[in-house]
Copies of this chain bind each other. A is one copy, B any other.
Amino acid sequence: DVSNVDAKTSHRTHTFPGLFNVAAFVPGLITPNSKDLAAATEAAVSAGFTTSIVLPTAISNSISDRPSLEQARSNALAATHCNIALGITATSSNVDSLDKELQAEVKLLFIPSSTPLSSVAAHFSSWPAEKPIVTDAKGSELASVLLLASLHNRTVHVTDVRSKDDLILISLSKGRQLKVTCDVSIQSLFFTSEQYPGTTSLPSAADQKALWQNLDTIDVFSVGSTPYCLAVESGKLASSESGVEEALPLLLTAFTEGRLTLDDIRIRLHDNPVQIFAIPDQTQTHVEVIIGRKTPFSKRSQCWSPLEQTSVSGSIHRVVFHGQTVFLDGSLFPAALGRDVSATAVAHPT
């Protein structure tokens, strides 16, 4: 795929449609006056993500009612460089307070791991059928959620899958016509717990191998909270930008190594997210990348990266958002053109 005309400068460009991060983790999401959400969207656009679905669960708090939703929206007013969609978190006490209006205003319901089973069941019963349900449950908690999804005939998207067992469970469920989809954090595909002893958010090398062997079962690649947690647990600087700019360079390098096709990437960062989350597709929006030019990994963000002092074979050249260049050769343009698309829902024919 790479031109061989000039070995030293051999590279190519490729254009993706605007990409989706379906699990953006924003630590200060509902902290009053936090700039974390604004920073997350700057990092997103710089990384080719023109839409970020924001995980409604932050550090020690979450969007779980109207006041917390309004706080996140107020933080979004600071500056939104990409489109964002906000969800709401299921708790054991908020099933009755999620009224029709609140349901209509958010993109999805997030069911965190360790939600009591009876609460999970209550939320499955009352959440509107046409709106996505997302969970980060793992192990037997994941099995519980999948059973309840099956019993309530509901779709469910599993975010941050990182073990072989969970992937098998999802794969078996898909085989039984259970309407389940899943994403894997991009860092889980490239770093292991063995490489970062004492950290808890990466797969083991054996689990990572299983992820690569079962790529067909993985619908979406996400950023998620893994990069943030990895940085924190490693005692490094972490922020809402952690891991975002690493995403495409890692995936494009894997392409140059023959481990992924460009279609694999587009399907999991654009086609499937649009479908699963019923997000309106963005017109006049695309991402130009450079592939095959080996360069030191560079980023705008100041926070720590596992790619520091590493060479990668892919980078973002330009991001065009609604017809305007918003990122070019490392520079982010100041205009914040993003919108809150939480309430939009577009049924894409499958």
Residues of A within 8 A of B (CB): 117-118, 121, 139-141, 143-144, 146-148, 150-151, 165, 168-169, 172-173, 175-176
Of the residues B118, B121, B151, B172, contact of A151 by C-beta under 8 Å = B172
Nearest residue, chain B, Cβ from A171 = B151
Query: Which 4 pairs across A and B sit closest by C-beta, in order of nearness?
Result: A143-B144, A147-B147, A140-B144, A151-B172
Of the residues B117, B165, B168, contact of A143 by C-beta under 8 Å = B117
Output the least CB separation between A221 and chain B (Å): 25
Interface hub of A140, A141, A148, A176 (most chain B Cβ within 10 A): A140
B-chain residues with CB within 8 Å of residue A165 when the two chains form the complex: 117-118, 121
B-chain residues with CB within 8 Å of residue A169 when the two chains form the complex: 117, 121, 147, 151
Output the least CB separation between A229 and chain B (Å): 23
B-chain residues with CB within 8 Å of residue A172 when the two chains form the complex: 151
Q: Cα distance A117–B163 when bound, in Å?
A: 12
The complex is assembled from copies of this chain, and their number is 2
B-chain residues with CB within 8 Å of residue A146 when the two chains form the complex: 147
Give 15 pairs: A residue, B residue, CB < 8 Å, sorted on A: A117-B139, A117-B143, A117-B169, A118-B165, A139-B144, A140-B140, A143-B143, A143-B147, A146-B147, A147-B147, A150-B150, A150-B176, A151-B173, A151-B175, A151-B176
Given contacts A117-B139, A118-B165, A140-B140, 12 further A-B contacts (CB under 8 A): A117-B140, A117-B143, A117-B169, A121-B165, A121-B168, A121-B169, A139-B144, A147-B150, A147-B169, A151-B169, A151-B175, A151-B176
Interface hub of A141, A147, A169 (most chain B Cβ within 10 A): A147
B-chain residues with CB within 8 Å of residue A141 when the two chains form the complex: 140
B-chain residues with CB within 8 Å of residue A147 when the two chains form the complex: 143-144, 146-147, 150, 169, 173
Q: Cα distance A175–B151 when bound, in Å?
A: 8
Output the least CB separation between A150 and chain B (Å): 7
B-chain residues with CB within 8 Å of residue A139 when the two chains form the complex: 117, 144
Output the least CB separation between A263 and chain B (Å): 30
Output the least CB separation between A254 and chain B (Å): 28
Nearest residue, chain B, Cβ from A144 = B143
Nearest residue, chain B, Cβ from A165 = B118
B-chain residues with CB within 8 Å of residue A151 when the two chains form the complex: 169, 172-173, 175-176
Output the least CB separation between A318 and chain B (Å): 46
Nearest residue, chain B, Cβ from A153 = B176
Output the least CB separation between A217 and chain B (Å): 14
Output the least CB separation between A280 and chain B (Å): 34
Q: Cα distance A166–B319 when bound, in Å?
A: 51
B-chain residues with CB within 8 Å of residue A175 when the two chains form the complex: 151
Q: Cα distance A176–B152 when bound, in Å?
A: 9
Output the least CB separation between A231 and chain B (Å): 30
Q: Cα distance A143–B139 when bound, in Å?
A: 11
Output the least CB separation between A116 and chain B (Å): 8
B-chain residues with CB within 8 Å of residue A173 when the two chains form the complex: 147, 151
Q: With contacts A118-B165, A121-B168, A165-B118 known, is A143 near B150, CB below 8 A?
A: no
Q: Cα distance A172–B150 when bound, in Å?
A: 10
Interface hub of A141, A143, A173 (most chain B Cβ within 10 A): A143
B-chain residues with CB within 8 Å of residue A121 when the two chains form the complex: 165, 168-169
